[in-house]
């Protein structure tokens, strides 16, 4: 019997939630008033996200959707998660299916650090495309950037870039700090890519083409100010 898309996606996001809950940090638990509050929030948000993935009619009786039917296609033609742009993301951008195991961690990190919904997910897509060989460290950039958030260990020695849970939360903290420093999410994205010292010293007008494209591509999918 063919397995439904609902079963596949549901298994992915529940596995992601369980994996992230096991990798929680004391600071994340404290932010929710204790372990019970943390667990309820994480699993509740993941359940809501999963329901949005599967569409409003998921809970109504209907025939199975067989794997192989089209979902949606994003950049580079990869399959993406239909209906996953819930919350206040009005852009219509959807993360790829490969992001499913990490969405619980991403959604929680966005909430804890006050990042617009889907902005961190879109940044991580820009950085790693959620490709396993990048996340595992089998493939790194010429500059030595590693992992899901493409962190350079030389500049960020306090985190293991190949630990996705740690790297996701660290990237969220760092992006929020850049926003607090520069005042807009566009400039925070520019600083994430180019470096805060370069941006502060030279201004966005002098940013290299790579950085300008980086900001333009992310904000075209997830509009922010």
Residue-wise pLDDT tens digits, 17-47: 555 555 555 555 555 555 545 555 555 555 5
47-61, 152-166, 206-220, range with the lowest pLDDT: 47-61
Largest CA distance in the chain: 61
Q: What is the pLDDT of residues 50-63, one digit of tens each?
A: 545 544 333 232 22
| SS3 at position 138 | coil
Q: What is the pLDDT of residues 68-90, one digit of tens each?
A: 222 233 334 454 554 343 344 45
Give the per-residue pLDDT at 92: 74
Give the per-residue pLDDT at 39: 55
Whether pTM exceeds 0.75: no
DSSP bridge partners of 73: 79
Give the per-residue pLDDT at 126: 98
Residue extents of the structural domains in the chain: 5-221
Specify the CATH class of 5-221 in words: mainly alpha
Q: How many Å apart are CA 82 and CA 97, to the nearest integer?
A: 9
SS3 content of the chain, % helix, strand, coil (to 5): 60, 5, 35
């Amino acid at each position: 019997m063919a397995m439904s898309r609902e079963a596949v996606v549901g298994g992915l996001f529940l596995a992601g939630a369980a994996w992230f809950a096991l990798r929680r940090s004391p600071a994340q638990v404290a932010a929710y008033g204790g372990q019970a509050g943390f667990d309820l929030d994480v699993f509740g948000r993941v359940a809501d996200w999963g329901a949005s993935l599967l569409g409003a009619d998921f809970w109504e009786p209907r025939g199975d959707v067989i794997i192989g039917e089209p979902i949606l296609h994003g950049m580079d033609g990869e399959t993406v998660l239909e209906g996953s742009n819930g919350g206040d993301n009005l852009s219509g951008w959807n993360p790829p299916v490969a992001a499913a195991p990490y969405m619980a961690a991403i959604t929680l990190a966005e909430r804890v650090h006050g990042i617009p919904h889907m902005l961190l997910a879109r940044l991580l897509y820009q950085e790693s495309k959620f490709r396993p060989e990048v996340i595992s460290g089998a493939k790194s950039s010429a500059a030595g950037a590693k992992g899901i958030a493409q962190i350079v260990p030389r500049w960020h020695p306090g985190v293991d870039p190949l630990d996705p849970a740690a790297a996701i939360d660290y990237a969220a903290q760092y992006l929020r700090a850049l926003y607090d420093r520069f005042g807009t999410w566009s400039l925070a994205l520019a600083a994430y890519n180019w470096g805060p010292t370069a941006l502060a010293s030279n201004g966005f007008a002098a940013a290299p083409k790579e950085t300008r494209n980086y900001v333009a591509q992310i904000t075209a999918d997830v509009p922010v100010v």
